[in-house]
Structure 1
């Protein structure tokens, strides 16, 4: 892993040898097949004198002393060690004591997961030094009749890979009517997956009180109030649709992308509103024909000679959906403020006449409001080259605020109109009831390979400025707004 990090050449990699082994550093490198002429790592023998004969207390003291010298002369930004379950107790204790004193980030690679964690070697020291800072809250708003879909989503979240990472908090907002099967499942659902029975359940469940038909404003307010970041720089929200089924590697991808684009030394994410786990298969208005950009559409690519230009590329899209998107904390706080002012302006008449919706009525009402803010500020969403979530089509539900009876049912239509709230509907709605949009379901088999093998360039994340950029209409443009002719 150290050699892999040195090969990527984004950091200066140092390897310090501790413990009681009587073998010399050269012998240990030879046994492990390390060629120092190829592996450009700085090697340090940090063992104390007579280490093989030392007691645990003396070896622990020697480890702390060696770490003091390393901190004084090397100034490490992050320390990476093997799983503490595998390391000697004196070593783990000494390392954790020293990082508390220095404030240096300590990363433990889960036992036997070196190959699966090679994506970490692609991050720079600025990103890795903030390893423990990001916090993710998962937010799921379940419509009526979605029990089967919600249980499937919760099972995929439960079975995902979390070892070595901070497990997100989970909040589920339930509809007014809860089906018995869902209630029984939630009663035995444990979160985080490996929590001890003596620990409190990390799951938060909210159950809406029945009321009259929900308007677009009411639904948007209820959704946005479900979460607010206590620290907008480090707290983010992952919005999931009950139709989603997560890849086991979803958190690894989110964690690496957050560190790369929000915490790297040079900064890059001022206009990045979030990170999607999904690749759209339709345009923002619900029409078919969306074409994912390829590596040939990148503005520049240092791996251009080795990469196939027809391979799907990660890309930036000035659009958002409710399927599976992480929204950065500062952008969510800005949206919270925008929505309160937008609703006040709508009721005061300052917004003028109503406009037609840009987003179809198959998406929740809050998406339209968020799109107004995103287009005004030039925000974009980062999409992966391959989907890390499967969006299922069966049991798809229309949002409650947009569901209505067919025009042929005159009695139901009349009752519907009597419960209408025209003053709380800021957009012109279609005369016809919305129909769920078919989504091409992703192939789940790719989830069984390590993350760096799923991504182009062997998992090395690319500069945002080099990625293809799509406007809200799905047109490929340059970052300056110029329509691309051929390639960007």
Structure 2
């Protein structure tokens, strides 16, 4: 009662029916309201859950294998061992002579591929893919050699109708087990020998996808002599996976046998590199130009996309050159629509100034893909070795893209094919003599006769010259320490040299050629001309006409016969069968890729530098340039912005 009396002081609720009815009505309404609210939420949740279930079952894959198999049955099922009893009973084996096109299963692949997924190895994986056993003798020596270099983990997979055990392969090719560190995989589908060509093509795509998903391949190597449907399948699949494909051409595998010395990082860029050749012809250089073009055409480009060839003609074109170019085909067996030849003809007959000549040369090329597109500048005075391109591509792959030491790449401007006896000032003796034991040196001196410049460095050069011209339109200003180049060399070398100094860049010179007595080219000096931009400067021409004599033999006194022999050798070098093989042997013997300090680093004047201080020297040169030429009051070499534009301080207009 006490409790009720707090709400009803009279204490007579039971004698008042209207009060009781009111209280029951309020309680009923409250309960009914809560029930209705809960029912609405429950209905909404049930409907939402039903909609989600509908979407799940509608879009749920119905053809996936168990999780443990991890592969899609539509593209070939992986499984260990032979077919199980259920599959054997439910699937009738094809009869001999049938063209089988049933579902694809790989019973032998998982057992050899999956163990490699758990191996921790810094070396990356490269796959040799084989469809026809006849291709094995062509690919196996390269695969075994690659395994011996120990830069990659080498795999060989059978993807066609035939297969063979590792023991049979070794016995047929006369190879001991210890001499060939290669992992073998049977990537053939079930009933491979009875399958149709279309089924084998699908199978090759699927097996390569499975292998790549397990091993994370860096490159795939195959032989062009293999079956056409197999080649199409692998080319299509590697393209979709963005994998490097190395197609060993029939009869040309010896030209590319050096790929076994490359690491996986280099191989992954193999078919992505594009080289542009630029030749700037001078007046009255018809014979030289035709000789150069003939040597370019006769060179060995086995395994590569032909470089794009740009020929820039002077205003007055000789009739002999005009007829020669009219009949010149590049590629030799290509049609007009396939031509990779570009001919440009200059309109202005007046002599160019040094600034105009520099702009013309540097504007002659601009890379579409800076990381993979590079330019080879050739003088009409050179004649190339038939093996020059193979050597050039090995050098680019090894030193630009190799994973051995990325710091080396940061300091490289490009690769020279020429080994000039003197520097471009015609006073500094080339510092090769004391480093002939090394396969190559890095010299902070540019060259103009035959040099490949990397695409990213060429873009930097564009920016550098553009800013340089804004502050000094005549390119007359120089830093106190910058060497003066002889007017026997083209004017565009001056901004190249300036950029090399302020950025700490060097050209690679292959000194092993001097030791081997070979060369990638011959420089013919009998018809050599001074650069057009300096022809009007008679005083300079006269002063440079007698360059400082350089002793090619060092301190030793030469007899007359020895001196003549040296001069003949300097003019006409031997073109060996291969430039790459002795270079690979020299590089492997010296370990220059595994140790950056093994490559001598030389200043413009030939002094050897320590790799530890090369960045410090470059920063000092950058500070001097920024203040003397770049229009800056001061230069902070430790600033975060170390781009090429930081060397210039342009006043706001």
Q: Report the TM-score when normalising by structure 2.
A: 0.63
Match of 1:477 in 2: 609
Q: Report Cα offsets for 1:392-451 as digits up to 9, x if no partner.
A: 1111010011124867xxxxxxxxxxxxxxxxxxxxx576364689992352331x1362
Q: 1:126 aligns with which of 265, 270, 280?
A: 265
* CA distance in 1: counterparts of 2:431 and 2:475, whole angstroms: 39
* CA distance in 2: counterparts of 1:19 and 1:206, whole angstroms: 49
**What stretches of structure 2 of length at least 5 have no aligned partner?**
1-141, 514-518, 549-566, 615-653
**How large is the Cα RMSD of the aligned pairs?**
2.7
Alpha-carbon spacing, 1:171–1:214, altered in 2? closer, same or farther (3 Å): same
In the alignment, structure 1 residue 207 sits paired with structure 2 residue 207 = no
Alpha-carbon spacing, 1:240–1:94, altered in 2? closer, same or farther (3 Å): same
Q: 2:376 aligns with which of 235, 238, 243?
A: 238
Given that 2:415 and 2:508 are in contact with CA atoms closer than 8 Å, whether structure 1 keeps it comes out as yes
Task: Report the CA distance between 1:113 and its aligned residue.
Answer: 2.5
Q: Secondary structure at the match of 2:575?
A: helix
* CA distance in 2: counterparts of 1:13 and 1:286, whole angstroms: 49
In the alignment, structure 1 residue 270 sits paired with structure 2 residue 433 = no
Q: Report Cα offsets for 1:259-317 as digits up to 9, x if no partner.
A: 222223453311200111111211332137434156xx5xxxxxxxxxxxx54521111
Match of 1:332 in 2: 458
Match of 1:286 in 2: 426
* CA distance in 2: counterparts of 1:311 and 1:354, whole angstroms: 34
Match of 1:304 in 2: none
Q: 2:248 aligns with which of 109, 117, 121?
A: 109
Q: 1:68 aligns with which of 197, 209, 217?
A: 209
Q: 1:49 aligns with which of 187, 190, 195?
A: 190
In the alignment, structure 1 residue 17 sits paired with structure 2 residue 152 = no
* CA distance in 1: counterparts of 2:173 and 2:279, whole angstroms: 47
Match of 2:592 in 1: 462
Match of 2:507 in 1: 381
* CA distance in 1: counterparts of 2:573 and 2:478, whole angstroms: 46
Q: Secondary structure at the match of 1:365?
A: coil
In the alignment, structure 1 residue 432 sits paired with structure 2 residue 562 = no
Match of 1:359 in 2: 485
| 1:153-164 to 2 correspondences below 5 Å | 153-164=292-303
Q: 2:170 aligns with which of 29, 39, 42?
A: 29
* CA distance in 1: counterparts of 2:287 and 2:547, whole angstroms: 17
Higher relative contact order (CA 8 A, sep 6+): 1
Query: In proportion to residue count, which structure has more helix?
Result: 2
Task: Report the CA distance between 1:67 and its aligned residue.
Answer: 1.7
Q: Secondary structure at the match of 1:285?
A: coil
Given that 1:452 and 1:459 are in contact with CA atoms closer than 8 Å, whether structure 2 keeps it comes out as no
* CA distance in 1: counterparts of 2:256 and 2:453, whole angstroms: 24
Match of 1:145 in 2: 284
Q: 1:453 aligns with which of 571, 575, 582?
A: 582
Given that 1:292 and 1:313 are in contact with CA atoms closer than 8 Å, whether structure 2 keeps it comes out as no
| 1:165-244 to 2 correspondences below 5 Å | 165-195=304-334, 197=335, 199-244=337-382
* CA distance in 2: counterparts of 1:209 and 1:78, whole angstroms: 47
Given that 2:443 and 2:604 are in contact with CA atoms closer than 8 Å, whether structure 1 keeps it comes out as yes
* CA distance in 2: counterparts of 1:36 and 1:337, whole angstroms: 55
In the alignment, structure 1 residue 391 sits paired with structure 2 residue 530 = no
* CA distance in 1: counterparts of 2:305 and 2:190, whole angstroms: 38
Task: Report how many aligned residue pairs link the two structures.
Answer: 443
Q: Report Cα offsets for 1:343-375 as digits up to 9, x if no partner.
A: 222249994899996211111011112111111
Match of 2:69 in 1: none
| Higher Rg | 2
**What stretches of structure 1 of length at least 5 have no aligned partner?**
298-309, 408-428, 483-488
Q: Secondary structure at the match of 2:278?
A: strand
Given that 2:488 and 2:544 are in contact with CA atoms closer than 8 Å, whether structure 1 keeps it comes out as no
Q: Secondary structure at the match of 1:100?
A: helix
Match of 1:320 in 2: 446
Match of 1:4 in 2: 145
Given that 1:81 and 1:107 are in contact with CA atoms closer than 8 Å, whether structure 2 keeps it comes out as yes
* CA distance in 2: counterparts of 1:253 and 1:406, whole angstroms: 40
In the alignment, structure 1 residue 444 sits paired with structure 2 residue 585 = no
Task: Report the CA distance between 1:459 and its aligned residue.
Answer: 6.6
Q: Report the TM-score when normalising by structure 1.
A: 0.83
Q: Report Cα offsets for 1:185-228 as digits up to 9, x if no partner.
A: 01111112332x25242211111123433211111112111111
* CA distance in 1: counterparts of 2:479 and 2:197, whole angstroms: 76
Q: Secondary structure at the match of 1:206?
A: strand
Q: Secondary structure at the match of 1:432?
A: helix
Alpha-carbon spacing, 1:379–1:357, altered in 2? closer, same or farther (3 Å): closer
* CA distance in 2: counterparts of 1:354 and 1:215, whole angstroms: 23
Given that 2:146 and 2:152 are in contact with CA atoms closer than 8 Å, whether structure 1 keeps it comes out as yes
Alpha-carbon spacing, 1:316–1:442, altered in 2? closer, same or farther (3 Å): farther
* CA distance in 2: counterparts of 1:350 and 1:205, whole angstroms: 32
